Structure 1
Amino acid sequence: MRINQYISRSTGYSRRKAEELVLAGRIKVAFFVIPEKSGIQPTDEIVTNLATEVNPLDKVFLDDKLIQPQKFVYYALNKPVGYTTTTSDPHAEKLITELVPKDPPVFPVGRLDKDTSGLIFLTNDGDFAQKMTHPKYEKEKEYIVETDKELSDKSLNKLRNGIELDDGITAPAKVKIISAKKYSITIHEGKNRQVRRMIEAVGAKVITLKRIRIGDFELENLEEGKYKKFATSNF
């Protein structure tokens, strides 16, 4: 396993952060050797090459502290409105991390606005988080949105074909009519407040917004404010 991947999996740091630690010379590795065969005792050496491979018998140190591979946890949370999607914010009244166990510490995967409810993942696995959020993986995210007025066919087609926002044109969205003023919108991008801005771009306003699916993982009957553990085999 490459050194940055080992650090990411063992600490929960993102791959990019792990690479920065390696390149900064803060990582040492005591490579395992078989003394009776080599006559060599293992020694710590600073590693700055991102292509360095390590195995479970090697010992990896960050700032001279041994990195202990940790057990990863994965939570699916039905976030209520009013909770801020971050691990710390002195100005936030309520944080979503208050709704899941504190040990081990976890972080949210992606984001949901304070005024948006629904499915969000929390984990301590940086590798998993990257796969869920990086644009190249194109993970679908499905939302149920209620609007202040019924959207015309023209507006629906604009959403389906991609609509221009101030930070670029969105990829085509899947839009289904549930009832008057209520729609299912599926996107695979992660622009800030994207669904709300898409609705505003066609002259309407969002009344409620709830995420019900990420990839193949559905919110189903999970009670609001509650979480459940899952395994990455779900994906």
Structure 2
Amino acid sequence: MLIVTNDGDFAQKLSHPSSMLKKEYIAVIDGVVKTQHLVNISKGTVIEGMHCTPDSVELMPRQPDLKRPRLRIVVHEGRNHEVRELVKNAGLEIHSLKRMRIGGFRLPSDLGLGKYVELKQSDLRAMGWKG
């Protein structure tokens, strides 16, 4: 999910860790995910001198058409490469990573690769914007 805006205040609100907006990611993992990996991710890691822990981490049900396991990870700080660091420090490698939700705004499931949607006021409010 990439949000393009010319509103600096809005961009700051979305990206700065102090906003505490929950961000949900789907991480496609190379290799086998074991219970201990999930425990290690849940314990968190140190990023930029701060201990970061995810709000939640779960192994998603395996789908027959997908060969790799997927993790759903929710964070609220959104520090630089937070999800990648959490997964790496747990001993796993990310094959691909996709942000699915910011605050209450969820990426439409039918939005194709390279496609976009124009956000409505209700979408902005769902992301915590009051401006």
Q: Structure 1-normalised TM-score?
A: 0.45
Cα distance in 2 for residues equivalent to 1:186 and 1:215: 10
Equivalent of 1:200 in 69, 77, 88: 88
Alignment deviations for residues 52-93 of structure 1 (CA, whole Å, 9 cap, x no partner):
xxxxxxxxxxxxxxxxxxxxxxxxxxxxxxxxxxxxxxxxxx
Provide the rounded CA distance (Å) in 1 between the counterparts of 2:7 and 2:93: 36
CA contact (8 A) 1:159 1:173 kept: no
Question: Which structure 1 segments of 5+ residues have no match?
Answer: 1-118
Work out the CA distance in 1 between the residues paired with 2:90 and 2:47.
11
* Rg larger in structure: 1
Structure 1 residues 138 and 166: CA distance shift in structure 2, 3 A = closer
Q: CA deviation at 1:152?
A: 2.1
Higher relative contact order (CA closer than 8 Å, sequence separation 6+): 2
The answer to whether the aligner puts 1:173 opposite 2:81 as a matched pair is: no
2:25 is aligned with 1:143: yes
Give the structure 2 partner of residue 225 of structure 1. 114
**2:4 counterpart of 1:122:** yes
Contact 2:55 2:74 in 1 (8 A): yes
Deviation of 1:174 (Å): 0.9
Q: How many residues align?
A: 117
Q: Percent identity?
A: 35
Which residue number in structure 2 is paired with residue 216 of structure 1?
Answer: 104
Write the distance in 2 (CA, Å) between the matches of 1:151 and 1:132. Answer: 30
Task: Answer whether contact 2:29 2:96 (CA < 8 A) is retained.
Answer: yes
> Residue 92 of structure 2: SS of its match in structure 1?
coil
Cα distance in 1 for residues equivalent to 2:22 and 2:79:
13
TM-score by length of 2: 0.77
Q: Deviation of residue 165 (structure 1)?
A: 4.4
Q: Secondary structure at the match of 2:4?
A: strand
CA distance, structure 2, for counterparts of residue 233 and residue 128 of structure 1: 14
Mapped contact 1:213–1:219 kept (Cα < 8 A): yes
Per the alignment, in what secondary structure is the counterpart of residue 2 of structure 2?
A: strand
1:171 offset after TM fit, Å?
2.7
Structure 2 residue ranges without an equivalent (≥5): 63-68, 126-131
Counterpart in the other structure of 1:111: none
Secondary structure at the aligned position of 1:229 is classed as coil
CA shift, 1:166, in A, is: 6.2
* Cα separation, 1, equivalents of 2:113 and 2:86: 26
Q: 1:13-49: CA deviations, max 9, x gaps?
A: xxxxxxxxxxxxxxxxxxxxxxxxxxxxxxxxxxxxx
SS of corresponding position for 2:32: coil
Question: Structure 1 residues 232 and 160 mapped into 2: Cα distance closer, same or farther (>3 Å)?
Answer: farther
- Kindly indicate whether residue 70 of structure 2 is the aligned counterpart of residue 188 of structure 1: no
| Residues 188-217 of structure 1: per-residue CA shift (max 9 Å, x gap) | 222222212211101111111111111111
Aligned-residue CA RMSD in angstroms? 1.9
